Structure 1
Amino acid sequence: MNTYPNVSQTKELIKQLVSIPSPSGNTFKVIQFVENYLQDLNVETHRNRKGGLIATLPGVNNDEHRMLTAHVDTLGAMVKEIKSNGRLRLDLIGGFRYNSIEGEYCEIQTSGGNIFTGTILMHQTSVHVYKDAGDAKRNQQNMEVRIDAKVENAEDIRNLGIEVGDFVSFDPRVQMTDNGFIKSRHLDDKASVGILLQLIKRIKEENITLPHTTHFLISNNEEIGYGGNSNITPQTVEYLAVDMGAMGDGQSTDEYTVSICVKDASGPYHYALRTHLVNIAESNDIGYKLDIYPYYGSDASAAIRAGHDIIHGLVGPGIDSSHAFERTHETSLIHTENLLYHYLQSKILSY
C-alpha cells in the first residue's frame, strides 16, 4: 500500500468538521469552512442554489467529466413544541431512532443566532419518581430537551428567543485514540469530506494533472434524500458518491478497509465501474470489501432517480454503529483515500 502522507492532518480536519454543527437545513457554517479551505488551495469553487459547494479541477479531457460527492449535512432535529414544563419537544431530521440520542448534550440555535445548550432526556428519566423509567418508549412523545437556563414554563423559553423551527444539533463527542480509532457522531459523512479535501490538497501539492476534468460536490441535503441530484454537468460520465460503509450482522464492511458498495436499497450500482474500482484496489495493494447495504441510499442513487444519464458508484470508509455512536479507524481512511487517488488518475472506461 502506498504511504498516506497526511493521515494526522486528515484526522484533525475530520475533528474540525464534526465540531461544526450542520444538521440538514442549516449547513452554512460548515460549507463556509470547506469553501475557505479550498480557496486557500486556489481551487475554483461555486455554490449552488441549495447551498452546496462545487469545486472543479481541470483535466486533460474536458469532454468527459467525473464528479465525486460527499455530504456535510448531518442528522439533527428541530424544535417541534415548546412545552408548558419549560422543556422542548423535538422533530427529527434524518433517519435515526430516539434511543440513539438519549442522554446526549445538544445545542439549540435560535433564529436570532443565539446558542443555548441542553440535554436530550426521557421525560420519565428519574428512577426515583417514575416506575416506567426503563420501559417507557423512546419516542417523540416521551423525549424532551432540558435547557441549561432557568426556565419553568413556555413563556420563559420564548423569552430566551427559542421558537418552533429552531435547529438542534448533537454534541459530536469526538475522540482520537492512540491506536488509531476515531470516535464521533457525524463521521457519516464528514470523514469522507475530510478525505476529499485532503485528496484535493494532495493533487495540488503534487502538481498532478488529472486525465479528466473532475468536480467535487460537497452536498448539504443528503440525509433528507436529495443532496446530489443536481448541478451535474452534461459532460459527466462517472459519478462516484463517497459515503460511509455500513457495518453489522451479515455485512462484509469493517473499520480497516475501504468499502465498495455493489447494491443498496436503490438497487445495484454500475457493474463496470465497480469492477474498475476493484481492479485499481488490487493493483495498488489497497484493502477493500465488497458489500450490500440493505437500508441505504446515496447521493449517487439520488442522481440516478433524478434522471441523469451517468455511471454511478459508491465507496467509503467503514463506519461502525451508523447514525448513532460512530467509529472508524485511520487505516480505513488510508485505503479510501488511496483508492480515490488512483481512481482519479485513471481514464474513464468505454462503457
Structure 2
Amino acid sequence: MANLHIEDTFKLLKELVSIPSPSGNTNEVIQFVEEFLSELNIETTRNRKGGLIATLPGKDNSRHRMLTAHVDTLGAMVKEIKPSGRLKIDLIGGFQYNSIEGEYCQIETSSGKKYTGTILMHQTSVHVYKDAGKAERNQANMEIRLDEKVHNAEDVRALGIEVGDFVSFDPRVEITPSGFIKSRHLDDKASVAILLQLIKQVKEEKIELPYTTHFLISNNEEIGYGGNSNISPETVEYLAVDMGAMGDGQSTDEYTVSICVKDASGPYNYEFRKKLVRLAEENQVQYKLDIYPYYGSDASAAIRSGHDIVHGLIGPGIDSSHAFERTHKTSIENTAKLLYHYLQSEMI
C-alpha cells in the first residue's frame, strides 16, 4: 500500500488548528484550504454558505460519491460589554463553559482588528471571593479579561470592539514524542487534514478513481447545517469524516478509526456500514464500531434535508471532545487507510 504521509498530515493539521475559524467566521481557513488545493491544480467552488467543494473525476460519472469534513469550530461571540471593561460572551456550538475557563482567546472586530484576552470567572481570586470554587461556570459568571488598558465600556468600544464580534480559543497545539497530538479543534480539522492529504496523494500518484468523487469542506457543521446542500443528484454514497467520541461506555479509542453505527439522528445506513467494516478487515485497518448518543454530523444533516443517499460516518477517535482534545497518530493513520481503500472500492 502507498505511503500515507502521516507526518505531513500532522504538519498540515497543526497549521489548520492554528487558524481561528469559529462557525460564522471561516473565510480565512477556507481560503487556506482553497490555496492548498489550487497548488495541486484542483479546481474548487464555494457555495453560498461559504463552504468549499473540490471534485475528482472518476471512470463512472453517472454515480457519484461525496465525502465531507468541516473546518468550522466551537467559539463564541461578544454578548455584552460590561461596565468594568470585561466582556460577556455567548457560545457558538455545543460545549460547556467550564471547558474554556482559563483559556486564552482572540477577539476579532468587524473591521478586522484582533485583540487577545483570557476567559475567566468573575469570582476568580480566592483572596476576594469566598465562593470562587463553588460558583457556577455559566454566562453570568464568566467573562473575558482583555489584554488592553481599559477601565470601562467606553474604553473597550474605543478599541473597536462591539457586540457580535467573534471570539476564538487558543488551540495550544502540541505534538508529543509519543505520537499524540493535543489541541483544541481536532474536531474536525483532523479529518480535514486527512482528506486534503488523501486528495494530494490521489493527484500525485495518478490514482484513477472508479467514481466521480466530491469533497465538501463544510463550514457550518457545529451549528447543524454544514453539509446539507450542494449534493449532486448523481450522488449515491455520502460519507462524513468527523471525530469519534470517547467516554464511558464507548468503544472508540485514540488508536483506531471509529465507524459510527448510530448517533442522535438514528442509525447510519446498514449496508454502507457493513461495507466500511469489510474494507477495514480486508486491509488490516484497526477499527471500532460505536454509537454516539449526543452527536449529529454533516451526513445526518444531509439525510434530514431530504437527499436520496446512503450515509455513513467515520473518523479518528478524539478524547475530551468539545474541550481540550487529543488523538494519536495511529488513529489518524487508520482513518486515512480506510479512506484510501474506500475511494478505490466499488459502490454498495
> Where does 1:264-279 land on structure 2 (aligned, <5 Å)?
264-279=263-278
The 1-side partners of 2:346 and 2:38 are apart by: 27
Counterpart position of 1:293: 292
Tell me the TM-score normalised to structure 2 length.
0.99
**1:348 CA displacement:** 1.0
Per the alignment, residue 229 of structure 2 pairs with: 230
Aligned letter for 1:215?
H
Instruction: List alignment gaps of at least 5 residues for structure 2.
Output: none
Is residue 4–residue 334 contact of structure 1 (8 Å, CA) maintained in 2?
Answer: no
Q: Does 1:78 align with 2:77?
A: yes
1:318 aligns with 2:329: no
Structure 2 partner of 1:109: 108
Q: Distance in 2 between matches of 1:113 and 1:249?
A: 42
Question: Hey, what does 1:258 align to over in structure 2?
Answer: 257
Give the Å deviation of 1:160: 0.2
Is the 8 Å Cα contact of residues 44 and 57 (structure 1) preserved in structure 2? Answer: no
Q: Secondary structure, in 3 states, of the residue corresponding to 2:29?
A: helix
Is 2:43 the partner of 1:48? no
Identity among equivalent positions (%) equals 77
The 8 Å contact of residues 86 and 156 in structure 1, kept in 2 or not, is answered as yes
Q: 1:61 to 1:3 in 2, by over 3 A?
A: closer
Amino acid at match of 2:153: A
| Cα displacement string for residues 280-326 of structure 1 (whole angstroms, at most 9, x for unaligned residues) | 00000000000000000000000000000000000000000000010
Deviation per CA, 1:18-53, whole angstroms, max 9, x where unpaired? Answer: 000000000000000000000100112100000000
**In 2, Cα distance between the equivalents of 1:249 and 1:161?**
45
Report whether the alignment pairs 1:58 with 2:65: no
| CA distance in 2: counterparts of 1:232 and 1:73, whole angstroms | 19
Counterparts of residues 24-35 of structure 1 (less than 5 Å)? 24-35=23-34
Give, as a single letter, the amino acid of the residue that structure 2 aligns with 1:256: Y
Q: Residue 328 of structure 1 aligns with which residue?
A: 327
Aligned to 1:190: 189
1:205 positional shift: 1.2
CA distance in 1, matches of 2:111, 2:131: 38
- How far off is 1:4 after superposition? 4.0
Q: 2:259 touches 2:288 (CA, 8 Å); kept in 1?
A: yes
What's the counterpart of residue 10 of structure 2?
A: 11
- Whether 2:35 is the aligned partner of 1:36: answer yes
CA shift for structure 1 position 68: 0.1
Q: Is the 8 A contact 1:4 1:338 kept in 2?
A: no
Q: Aligned partner of 1:265: which letter?
A: A
Amino acid of the structure 2 residue aligned with 1:299: D
Instruction: Name structure 1 gaps, 5 residues minimum.
Output: none
Report the CA distance between 1:5 and its aligned residue.
3.3
1:264 touches 1:297 (CA, 8 Å); kept in 2? yes
Verify: 1:148 aligned to 2:147, yes or no: yes
- The match for 1:344 is 343
1:216 maps to which residue? 215
User: CA separation of 1:14/1:92 partners in 2, compared to 1, >3 Å: closer, same or farther?
Assistant: same
Structure-2 separation of matches of 1:302 and 1:134 = 39
CA distance in structure 1 between the aligned counterparts of 2:204 and 2:274, rounded to whole angstroms: 29
Moved over 3 A (4+): 2-5
CA RMSD of aligned residues (A): 0.6
Matched residues, number: 348
* Distance of 1:202 and 1:341 partners within structure 2: 9
Q: Summarize the Cα distance change of 1:183–1:3 in structure 2 as closer, same or farther, 3 Å threshold.
A: farther
Per-residue Cα deviation, 1:167-220 (whole angstroms, up to 9, x for no partner): 000000000000100000000000000000000011111101100000000000
- Aligned with 1:295: secondary structure? coil
